[in-house]
Chains A and B, each alone.
Chain A
């Protein structure tokens, strides 16, 4: 069994500032880290490997320094690492990013299973996983909270959707985007760090893709236009209520219901 895991390097802090002049994220001098949601994707794949025996390949797209998180994936236990990196991939939106990743997975494939995290902490779209699956033409499930069974033909998963829980059987090849509930991610190992220190990382550029048409990648392949980036307004308003427990509870209920924070189920 071959499993691909998609991971991303993101800023090390959530308090990223926006440059007031250019409207872009200030990334200079900000430490980076492996996207926390992707740790659950790695953990899911590693557990499948432990259970069934599988070969894991981690994929990431980014500048050369994104190699750091592939090294970290090695330290967690993946067997191979692929860096999708080319200046021509720069400025990609969700669509162009998903396309480049699907091309890279195809180039290294075939894979039985692709595992992604729910979303990244910098882009926050939660769309790349599903779009990669669409480009690969494979079945997929998002919001996966547990893997309930695996056979050579496919896997059964539970998806936690806002109003219901769904159990799906997916035939391989498939892609799943997993939630935190899949299990606490293991920590990187120093022993593996020593063992994988010189281990090669495959770099894939445009020339390595089956589709070499530059206009499908990077900024030119991105229909999205970012007009402005701005930090959300912090809402620090507060109200102070006094009263007995019953009347306060009643007031709180209506306050939340009026603002549609509560939803009647059933």
Chain B
């Protein structure tokens, strides 16, 4: 699709509509890519949005002149979703970062899209309230979390971002502003367009305000760090934990090599690194006794299945030592290689062990370093393929082969292309293969209904 290239005349016109406009040559390199190492794409214009009205005016202009618009939060995505792949305007929403309201009677939080995930807990937790979604990247914006339907580490018990969005204010492709959902708990009023926006990666509309659902804050959380002799033994225990009907908030798995990388990255020793593989579980509740009785059965299951021990982290200091490293895994792995790409596949929980074993075997089969960690409890795995010293051609070839192998295996066992990072432009071919023409056709129809001329984040998702 041919888009209108911005002229000086357009820039002048847009300057009258928006207060903070940066021209292409002055745009910082950071805005030309996300956290994914890929070829950079420079926006033709960067607009630091101030409010919904301004965004509406810009969209109206872009719609009338057929200019692509790509919304962006903090650019922490991993699939190129917030990159201006086809030029046009980048709409930076990071500056719209006010927490607008905490409604203690409706248990809702209303925010602008640029509020950072890390800013939410300090705002709501002193009031005894809790926003459960817990993606590892705490410096991401809530707008970005909504756009990708970010998951995170509490999904086993609490679900994902989608489950906590109650209402959205959205600017449509032509500049009209609409409200979807609201503070209501139940809603059967027609098609749920709000949930279509969640996870749509900026291809259907621009989220300019979100009302999020809060729950009462559990008073206490205890984590268990469980050392196993091998990754297989650790992973094979997961279905037994799920089957025991205990509901941990998180079930993560990790290998020693990733822990060592995180230690080096953070410059801080990990509390235990005696074993080759670990499960990391968290239980929350309102008293120590309640939590202890919840984890007791799980601890015994782990010991019965070959765990060396079950280590208990029961204070904020201990939890921080463990979880800070977990949060740094991605950066730590990134720091250990020259370039990498990731597979954020999700498989049915029963097949997690099998799939991780399969992924680990690819290292030898394709001659490329593979590292993985992830959410064993919800089946969402993060498998990283590392370039190290491979030359460009070999790297591209092996990466393609590994991806192809991983996604087709995932498809065979009922998995999906992305558990939480989204599709962006990088995973599009795999999405098409995975979902097929009928489903993709419906998606394209929805896209057409929201964005008939295709100016919203073009080249992404479907």
- Interface, chain A (partner B; CB < 8 A): 12-13, 31, 33-34, 36, 39, 75, 183-191, 193
Task: Decide if B138 is an interface residue (CB 8 Å cutoff).
Answer: no
Residue B321 is within 8 A (CB to CB) of chain A in the complex: yes
Q: Is the CB of A186 within 8 A of B310?
A: no
* Cα–Cα distance between A115 and B315 once the two chains are bound (Å): 22
A190 touches B310 (CB 8 A): yes
A190 to B269, CA, bound (A): 21
> Are A31 and B288 touching (Cβ within 8 A)?
yes
Kindly state the separation between the CA atoms of A34 and B316 in the bound complex, as whole angstroms: 11
- B317 lies within 8 A of chain A by Cβ: yes
Q: List 16 A-B contacts (CB under 8 A).
A: A31-B220, A34-B315, A183-B269, A184-B321, A185-B271, A186-B272, A187-B225, A187-B313, A189-B309, A189-B311, A190-B309, A190-B310, A190-B311, A191-B309, A191-B310, A193-B312
CA distance A107 to B272 in the complex (A): 35
**Chain B interfacial positions (CB closer than 8 Å to A):** 219-220, 224-225, 268-272, 288, 299, 303, 309-318, 321
Min CB distance B353 to A, Å, is: 23
B223 and chain A: residue at smallest CB distance: A187
Contact B268 A36 (CB under 8 A): no
Our pick among A31, A33, A39, A75 for the contact of B312 (Cβ within 8 Å) is A75
Query: Does more than half of chain B's interface fall in helix, strand or loop, or is it mixed?
Result: mixed
Q: A31-B220, A31-B288 are in contact. Are A187 and B312 (CB under 8 A)?
A: yes
Q: Are B309 and A184 in contact (CB under 8 A)?
A: no
- Kindly state the separation between the CA atoms of A39 and B321 in the bound complex, as whole angstroms: 13
Tell me the nearest residue of chain B to A193, going by C-beta. Answer: B312
B132–chain A nearest beta-carbon distance, Å: 21
Chain B residues contacting A186 (CB-CB under 8 Å) are 271-272, 311
By a CB distance below 8 angstroms, the chain A residues around B272 are 186-187
State the total of A-B contacts with C-beta under 8 angstroms: 48
CA separation between A183 and B235, bound complex, in Å?
A: 30
Nearest 4 pairs of A and B residues by beta carbon:
A190-B310, A187-B311, A184-B269, A36-B317
CB nearest neighbor in B for A36: B317
A191–B313 Cα distance when bound, in Å, is: 14
Closest to B288 in A: A31
**Smallest CB gap from B220: residue in A:** A31
For residue A34, which residues in chain B have a CB less than 8 angstroms away from its CB? 315
- Distance of A235 Cα from B48 Cα, bound (Å): 32
Q: A183-B269, A184-B270, A184-B321 are in contact. List 20 more A-B contacts (CB 8 A).
A: A12-B316, A31-B219, A31-B288, A33-B315, A39-B317, A75-B312, A184-B268, A184-B271, A186-B271, A186-B311, A187-B271, A187-B311, A187-B318, A189-B309, A190-B224, A190-B299, A190-B303, A191-B303, A191-B309, A191-B310
Residues on A with beta carbons closer than 8 Å to the beta carbon of B316: 12-13
In chain B, what residue has the closest Cβ to A183? Answer: B269
B312 to A189, Cβ gap below 8 A?
yes
Across the interface, do B310 and A36 meet the contact criterion of CB distance under 8 Å? no
- Which A residues are CB-close (under 8 A) to B309? 189-191
Give chain A residues whose Cβ lies under 8 Å from the Cβ of B219.
Answer: 31
> Which residue of chain A lies nearest to B269 when distances are taken between CB atoms in the complex?
A184
Complexed CA–CA distance, A190 and B303 (Å): 10
What is the CA–CA distance of A191 and B408 in the complex, to the nearest angstrom?
42
Give the residue name and chain of the B residue nearest to A72 (CB): B314
Q: Which residues of A contact B313 (CB under 8 A)?
A: 187
Rounded to whole angstroms, the CA-CA distance of A68 and B381 in the bound complex is 38
- Taking a contact as CB atoms under 8 Å apart, the answer to whether A188 and B270 are in contact is no
Q: Which residues of B contact A33 (CB under 8 A)?
A: 314-315
Contact across chains for B317 and A188 when beta carbons are under 8 A apart:
no
Q: Which residue of B lies closest to A15 (CB)?
A: B126
Nearest residue, chain A, Cβ from B318: A187
- Check if A188 sits within 8 Å of B311, measured CB to CB: yes
- B378 CB → nearest A CB, Å: 24
Nearest-neighbor residue (CB-CB) of B268 within chain A: A184
| A12: chain B residues within 8 A (beta carbon) | 315-316
Within the complex, the shortest CB–CB distance from A109 to chain B, in Å, comes to 30
Q: CA separation between A194 and B316, bound complex, in Å?
A: 23
A193 contacts across to B, CB distance below 8 A? 312
* Bound CA–CA A37/B269 (angstroms): 16
Instruction: Give the CA-CA distance A204 to B93 in the complex, in Å.
Output: 63
Distance (whole angstroms) from the CB of A44 to the closest CB of chain B: 14
